[in-house]
Amino acid sequence: MGDGTAVGFVGLGNMGVPMASAVAAGGWRVLGYDSSPAARGNAAAAGVEIVDELDDVTAVDTLVVVLPNSDIVEAVLVDGGVIDRMRPGTAIIDMGSSEPSRTRQLVASAGARDIAFLDAPVSGGVLAARAATLAIMVGGDPDVVETRRPLLETMGKVRHVGGPGSGHALKALNNLMSAAHLVVSSEAIVAGKRFGLDPAVIIDVVNASSGRSGSTDLKWPRFILPETFDSGFSLRLMVKDAAIALGLIDATGTPSRASSAIVAAWADAAGDLPADADHTEIARWVESLATAPPAAG
């Protein structure tokens, strides 16, 4: 249970709302802010206490930000003056998918004002956020991690993975692997379908075989085969995360032949699909590129 100390949430989108609701259910008072009136309305309907100004979430013990990228995180925390207005001894937790090197810069900026900073991105998507079963990979000072562990555990399973920026690095690498699984499984399953195999049968067999992945286990049966394409995670966010991972690979001198091809494929899909496309629509995009006629019988 929470101790009654208020927790601030900035970013009340598809992930932020269920995460804030989980914290509130754990006993904390949650103050939520988003620049979008629609997002604030959705969060209010989910039981989050909404504030109208960004300043109203700075007088908290812990501020959680769930924002799309480092540019927006910095716009809020630095340009928006949030770090300057928070009290010494408080903490900021970036639970979005930011760039590790820029996260480390924010850690230093916050530390200069005696404000702790953790990077704690998540995996599992909207379904896990709603069920409070997210995988939470935390980077930062271990003592700070332990003080915020009860709060983080209201949202899922917490794993301290290393020092500042480590959580964001691991998240990006995870999403690169996820992106690879999804685009390769799409090519394989579309090929099987055009050969004459039933995609549902392909999925059933693969999930009992060595080709199984998170994509075949969840994304294909839940979002692609029914053609709902509504996982709640956008294609452009996947492109962003995979590109961050590719940058890490290149910076460490690691071979990136396959990773470069994966990132290029996703970037091409982003250029062809609508701006708000769900990342599972990569399967539909792959099928649209098929050239030879399907096999007969």
Tokens for 63, please give them: 């501020």
CB 88 within 8 A of CB 115: yes
- What is the rounded CA–CA span in Å between residue 254 and residue 125? 28
For residue 81, is it left (φ>0), alpha (ψ between -120 and 50) or beta?
left
> Among all residues, which ones are annotated catalytic?
171
Q: How far apart are CA 68 and CA 27, in angstroms?
A: 27
For 2-26, b where at least 16 C-beta lie within 10 A, e where not — what string? beeebbbbbbbbbbbbbbbbbbbeb
Alpha helices in the chain (DSSP H): 16-25, 37-45, 70-74, 82-85, 100-111, 125-131, 142-153, 166-195, 199-206, 214, 235-251, 257-272, 282-288
Residue 203 identity: I
